[in-house]
A and B are shown apart, each in its own frame.
Chain A
Amino acid sequence: MATSILWQIRAIAATDLRLRLRRPATLWLILILSGLAYLFIRDPDTGTGLMVVDGARALYTSQVVAISTAGLAAFLLTFAGFYLTSNTLRRDLLARTGAIIAATPVSSGTYLVGKFLGGSAYLGLVTGAYLLNVMAMHLLRGEGPLEPLTYVVTYLLALGPAIVVVAALALCFECIPLLSGRLGDVAYFFVWTVLVAVGAIAEGRGAGRFLDVMGIGFIMAEVHTVANAQNIAIGVTPFDPRVAPWVLPPISLTLGTLLPRLTTALFAVPLLLVARLFFHRFDPARVRSGSQTAGGDLIRRVSGLIKPLTRIVSGVGARLVTAAPGALRPVLAETVMTLCQAPLVLLAWLGVLTTTLVAKAETVTHAVPMALSAILAIALADLSTRDRAAGVQAMLFSMPRLKPDYARIKLGAAALLALLFVLPPALRIAVHAPGAALSLLIAAGFMAALASALGFLTRTPKAFMGVFLLFLYLVLNGAQLPALDFAGWNGVATGSTRLGYLLMTLLLAGVAEGKHRWDLGREG
Chain B
Amino acid sequence: MLKLDQVTKRFRGGVTAVADLSLELGAGVVGLLGPNGAGKTTLMQLIATITRPTRGQIHFQGIDVLREPETLRRQLGYLPQDFGVYDNLTAFEFLSYFGGLKGITKRGRIEELLELVNLHTVAHRPAATFSGGMRQRLGIAQALLNDPALLIVDEPTAGLDPEERVRFRHLLSDLGTGKLILLSTHIVSDIESLAGTIAIMRQGRLVTCAVPEDLLRGARGQVWEGVVSSAEYEQIRGRLKVTRAVRQADGVHARAVSPVQPFATAMAVEPDLEDAFVRLMQAGT
Contacts and interface: CB of A to CB of B under 8 A. Distances in A.
A14 B79 CA distance: 23
A106 interface: yes
A361 to B, nearest CB: 47
Contacts of A99: 45, 48, 50, 78, 80, 82-83
A282 B80 CA distance: 12
A97 B84 contact: yes
Contact of A283 (B51, B73, B139, B143): B51
Contacts of A285: 9, 11-12, 51-52
Contacts of A103: 48-50, 73, 76, 78, 152
B50 A19 contact: no
Contact of B73 (A10, A19, A95, A105): A105
Looking at chain A, what size class is its interface with the partner chain? 20 to 34
A496 interface: no
B142 A100 contact: yes
B98 interface: yes
Contacts of A105: 70, 73-74, 101-103
Nearest to A16: B97
A283 B52 contact: yes
Nearest to A9: B100
A22 B128 CA distance: 13
A401 interface: no
Interface string B73-108: 110101110111111110001001111111101000
A8 B74 CA distance: 13
With most chain B CB atoms within 10 A of its CB, the pick from A14, A18, A96, A99 is A99
B89 A19 contact: yes
14 contacts: A12-B101, A15-B93, A15-B100, A22-B88, A95-B85, A99-B45, A100-B80, A100-B143, A102-B48, A103-B49, A105-B73, A283-B51, A284-B42, A285-B52
A96 B101 contact: no
Interface in A234-287: 282-285
Given A11-B97, A105-B102, A284-B45, A97 B86 contact: yes
Contact of A104 (B42, B51, B84, B101): B101
Contacts of A91: 86
B100 A8 contact: yes
A91 B97 CA distance: 15
Contacts of A97: 83-86
A422 to B, nearest CB: 37
Interface size class of B (residues with CB under 8 A): 35 or more
A6 B142 CA distance: 20
A18 B70 contact: no
Contacts of B152: 103
Interface string B1-24: 000000001011000000000000
A225 interface: no
Interface of B: 9, 11-12, 42, 45, 48-52, 70, 73-74, 76, 78-80, 82-89, 93, 96-103, 105, 139, 142-143, 152
Interface in A426-467: none
A96 B98 contact: no
Contact of B100 (A10, A22, A95): A10
B101 A18 contact: no
A518 interface: no
Contacts of A10: 100
A466 B11 CA distance: 35
A101 interface: yes
Contacts of A102: 48-50
A408 B96 CA distance: 42
Contacts of B48: 99, 102-103
Contacts of B42: 284
A284 B48 CA distance: 12
A18 B90 CA distance: 11
Contacts of B93: 15, 18
A7 interface: yes
Contacts of A7: 100, 103, 105
B59 to A, nearest CB: 17
Given A4-B103, A96-B82, A15 B50 contact: no
Nearest to B10: A285
- Nearest 10 CB-CB pairs, A to B? A11-B100, A96-B84, A103-B78, A104-B101, A105-B73, A22-B88, A99-B80, A15-B97, A105-B74, A103-B48
Contacts of A101: 101
A26 to B, nearest CB: 11
Nearest to B78: A103
Nearest to A110: B101
A107 interface: yes
A506 to B, nearest CB: 33
Interface string A1-43: 0001001101110110011001100000000000000000000
Contacts of B49: 102-103
B31 to A, nearest CB: 20
A102 B76 CA distance: 11
